[in-house]
Amino acid sequence: MNKIVTDILVIGGGIAGASVAASLITRTDVCLVEAEENLGYHSTGRSVAVYAESYGSRIIRQLTKKSSPLFKKAEKDLTQNILSSRGFLFIAREDQSAELEKLNIELNESLKVSKLGKKEAQEIVPALRSEYLSQALYHSEAQDIDVSLLHNYYIQRLKEANGTIHMSQRVKKIDNSSGQYIVECDSLIIYCNKIINAAGAWADQVAELAGCKKIGLRPLRRTAFSFDEKKWQYSNWPVVIDCEENFYIKPETGSIIGSPADEINDVPRDVYPEEYDIALGMDRIKNALDFEAKSIGSSWAGLRTFTPDRDPAVGFDYQHKDFFWLAGQGGYGIQTAPYMGVLAADMICPGTYSPKSEENELKKSLDPNRFFKN
Ligand SMILES: Cc1cc2nc3c(=O)[nH]c(=O)nc-3n(C[C@H](O)[C@H](O)[C@H](O)COP(=O)(O)OP(=O)(O)OC[C@H]3O[C@@H](n4cnc5c(N)ncnc54)[C@H](O)[C@@H]3O)c2cc1C
Of ligand 1's listed atoms, the one at least distance from the Cα of 303 is 53
Which of the listed residues 306, 327, 357 is the one where a domain comes to its end? 306
Cα of 123 from ligand 1 centre, angstroms: 36
Cα of 339 from ligand 1 centre, angstroms: 16
Q: What pLDDT was estimated at residue 33? A: 98
Cα of 200 from ligand 1 centre, angstroms: 5
Interval 115-142: pLDDT, tens: 999 999 999 999 999 999 999 999 999 9
Contact residues of ligand 1, CB 6 A cut-off: 11-17, 33-36, 41-44, 46-50, 170-171, 198-200, 202, 206, 222, 224, 302-304, 329-335
In whole angstroms, what is the distance from residue 39 CA to residue 153 CA?
13
Which of the listed residues 287, 306, 325 is the one where a domain comes to its end? 306
Q: Which H or E element spans position 128?
A: none
User: Which of 58, 55, 123, 53 is closest to 90 using CA atoms?
Assistant: 55
In a domain? residue 349:
yes
* Percent of the chain surpassing pLDDT 90: 95
Round the CA-based radius of gyration of the chain to a whole number and report it.
21
Range of the domain at 336: 2-49+147-215+311-371
Q: What are phi and psi of 358, to 5 degrees?
A: -65, -15
N-to-C CA span, the chain: 42
Interval 211-248: pLDDT, tens: 999 999 999 999 999 999 999 999 999 999 999 999 99
Q: 356 pLDDT exceeds 90?
A: no
Q: 9 pLDDT exceeds 80?
A: yes
Banded model confidence at residue 359, pLDDT cuts 50, 70, 90 = confident
Q: What pLDDT was estimated at residue 353? A: 82
Q: What pLDDT was estimated at residue 374? A: 62
Write the Ramachandran bin of 179: left for phi over 0, alpha for psi from -120 to 50, otherwise beta: left
User: What's this model's pTM, rounded to 2 decimal places?
Assistant: 0.97
In a domain? residue 193:
yes
List the residue whose alpha carbon is closest to atom 12 of ligand 1: 332
CATH number for 92: 3.30.9.10
Question: Pocket of ligand 1, candidates 44, 167, 264: which has the most ligand atoms within 8 Å of its Cβ, to mutate?
Answer: 44
CA 113 to chain centre: 23
CATH number for 358: 3.50.50.60
Cα of 42 from ligand 1 centre, angstroms: 5
Nearest 5°: the CA angle 300, 222, 198 is: 95
* Percent of the chain surpassing pLDDT 70: 100
Interval 57-95: pLDDT, tens: 999 999 999 999 999 999 999 999 999 999 999 999 999
In a domain? residue 63:
no
User: Which of 153, 159, 166 is closest to 341 using CA atoms?
Assistant: 153
| Coil, helix or strand at residue 23 | helix
Sign of CA pseudo-dihedral 217, 332, 267, 194: negative
